Structure formats: C-alpha cells, structure tokens
Amino acid sequence: MLISHPSEEGFPEKPLFEHLQNVSHICRETIASQKLNLMQMNKMDLGKLSFLIGLFHDFGKATSWFQNYIRGHEKSSHFTNHSLFSAIVGYYAVLQEMKNEKWAYIAYMIIKRHHGNLESFEQCGDKLNLAPVKEQLKNIQKTCFDVLSEFYHRNGIELQFLSHIDWNDFKHRIDDSDEFVMELSEQNDDDSFETFFLINYLFSLLIDSDKQDAARLDNSYFCGNLAEEPSDVMAYVAFCRKNEPKKFAENIPINRYRNQFLNEIHNNPMITPKNHFYSITAPTGIGKTFGCLAFANTLKRQLPLTSGRIIYCLPYTSIIDQNYEEFEKIILFN
C-alpha cells in the first residue's frame, strides 16, 4: 500500500490515495460553499482547479524512494523530495483538463511551494534540476503506474500525458514565465487584485486541507458554530461595571475614554457588510481587545445566520495569552 504519512501518536499509516482524495474534495467543496463573483473564471472552474491541485499535490510520494523514506528505511535525498515532481505532473494535468497555460502555471507554483511559502513567480528553466524528476517518473512508471492510473481514472483523469512530457519543452515553458508575470503586471487593477487573491486563496486551501488531513483532525466539533449567537461584549462590560464598580467607575478619566471608544464602535452605523475594509486606530490601553470583538460581533449579526467567520490575527506572540484570557472571559460569560 502506498502511504502519504507514517503511523504516529496512535494513528495508523495514512494511505496516499485516501489523503489525495480527502484534500482534493475538501478544496472543491470549500469553494462550492462560498459566494464568489469572479471575473476571470466561474466558481465551477475554480473548484475544478482546486480539485486538481489537491489531487496531484503529493503525486511524487508514490515513488519507491519516498515510500522507503516515509517508513524509515531510507534517508532523505533528491529522489525522496516530491514537491517539484508533483508540481510538474500537476502542471500537465491542469493543462490537459483545463486547456489554460495561466492556471496550469499557477497550479505548478502552488504545488511546488506547498511545504513552504509562495515566492516570486519568476522562474528560470536553466536552474531547475530535472535529473531526479526524470528518474522519479521512470520509477513510478516501473513500480506503480497501474494503481495510480486506476485511482486517477476513478477521478476522471487519464495519466497518458506522463509518457509524453517533453523536458526541454517544460524548461522553455518555465523560462517563458517571465512573460506570464509581465502579463499579470499589465492587467487592469481589478484583474490583478483578483489574480493575486485567487492565487493566495488556492494556496491557503491546499495547505489548510493538507495539514488538517495529515494531522487526522476531526473538525466536526465546529459544525454549527456559525449559527451560534455572537458573544456579547457589551453585556460582559456591563457585568464588570456592576461587580467591580471601583475599577470600572466612570469618574476615572481613562474609563470615560474606554466607554466612549467602545460605544462608538458598538453603535456605529457605518459597520455594514456593504463595506469591505475598516480601520480602527486608537492609543494603547483604550480597550482595543474589547473594541475589536465588539466590531466583529456587530458585523457578524448583520450576516446570514450560518455564514461569516471571525478570524483574529495578532501582530505579536507576546500578547496571545493576554488576549486569549480576555476573550475566554467574554465567551464563558455568554
């Protein structure tokens, strides 16, 4: 059996085909659940692209070198690295299925970088070391091509294109990526922004679903959480004022400023789903932790009952514990 991840922490080995199937379906189903109004492609095509990226992102793990490595029988080498090989196969798969050079190249870059970070899309074919990749392809064709072909056939993909890869042609295509990047920069602003966000969206979908499945995470715990009523920060503040009147007394100057700041956010008529970008600027100590939650909850209440997630990003790890404690108090109170 081909595996993608070893047994660990009480979990059995993860079958490669199960992993590829899970990741590709999560990517496509996530897109299907979103409200998207795109200029460059429809939602169905975007879902298909994300499905193909997920289905091929770990294709290179099928080599006997990687299978021996993941089971602890072989050391890491050029032949156990799978990202570049998977990216090239993914490139030709997208080219075959979608007949679009742009999205094939984007798929290539996303798969190639899925164990790291997205970097410049400008590439040079002369710098690519394709010697190990050629051997990886020969290895797969010799050892497991039939089972791979059967798996991909069940998913509507034929792998005959693997026998027709022209490596010199591929290097030329990568060299031509300069022209592709130039075309992106020459797009109008709307197309440029959309391309930028689509690339990052597809990349985030892949790494999120990949890590979730690899870690065997069961996210059923979160099912239905979007339907929960947002935690009421104003009710919590009123509770604090009642139980600690000296600490929250309004005759203290800083408390007056904090109350004014929080009330301006809570009662602000400009907070609406029609607006997409907001900025809250306030001095240290004014209560931005409460203010941010009040803003998010005000916006969340205006969204459909089961849509809209609040994603909180912190600039410094040093304040994670402090903010977590404040949010925990509000959530437990409600």
Ordered alpha helix ranges (H), 99-232? 101-112, 131-143, 145-154, 167-175, 177-186, 189-214
> Cα–chain-centroid distance for residue 22?
15
- As given in the structure block, the two tokens for residue 170 are 């591929």
Among 299, 247, 294, 252, CA closest to 272? 299
Is residue 323's pLDDT more than 90? no
Among 328, 248, 330, 262, CA closest to 291? 262
Out of 59-63, 77-81, 90-94, pick the least confident: 77-81
Q: What count of other Cβ atoms lies within 10 Å of the Cβ of residue 115?
A: 12
Confirm if 59 and 78 have CB atoms less than 8 A apart.
Answer: no
Task: For tokens 């295509």, name the residue.
Answer: 173
The string of pLDDT tens digits covering residues 3-43 is 999 988 788 999 999 999 999 999 999 999 888 889 889 99
CA 205 to CA 272: how far, in whole Å? 27
Task: For tokens 């409600």, name the residue.
Answer: 334
Q: CB burial class (10 A; 0-12, 13-18, 19+) of residue 50? A: buried
CA 111 to CA 206: how far, in whole Å? 8
CA 140 to CA 82: how far, in whole Å? 12
Confirm if 213 and 23 have CB atoms less than 8 A apart.
Answer: yes
Is residue 287's pLDDT more than 80? yes
Alpha-carbon separation of residue 307 from 29, 76, 270, 273 (angstroms): 15, 44, 20, 12
What average pLDDT does this structure show over 267-295? 89
- As given in the structure block, the two tokens for residue 286 are 């004014």
Strand partners of residue 8: 11
Percentage with pLDDT > 90 across the chain: 51
Q: Average model confidence (pLDDT) for the chain? A: 89
Phi, psi (degrees; rounded to nearest 5) at 298: -60, -40
Confirm if 51 and 22 have CB atoms less than 8 A apart.
Answer: no
- pLDDT of 126 reads 58
The helix (run of H) or strand (run of E) holding residue 3 is strand 3-5
Strand partners of residue 3: 15
- pLDDT of 47 reads 97
Is residue 105's pLDDT more than 70? yes
Task: For tokens 């299978």, name the residue.
Answer: 67
- As given in the structure block, the two tokens for residue 92 are 């030709």
- Which tops the pLDDT comparison, 62 or 288? 62
Q: CB burial class (10 A; 0-12, 13-18, 19+) of residue 15? A: middle
What average pLDDT does this structure show over 212-229? 78
What average pLDDT does this structure show over 74-86? 93
CA 159 to CA 145: how far, in whole Å? 9
- As given in the structure block, the two tokens for residue 323 are 């903010």
pLDDT band at 181 (very low <50, low <70, confident <90, very high): low
Strand partners of residue 15: 3
- pLDDT of 49 reads 98
Confirm if 78 and 132 have CB atoms less than 8 A apart.
Answer: yes
- pLDDT of 198 reads 93
Is residue 176's pLDDT more than 90? no
- pLDDT of 73 reads 92
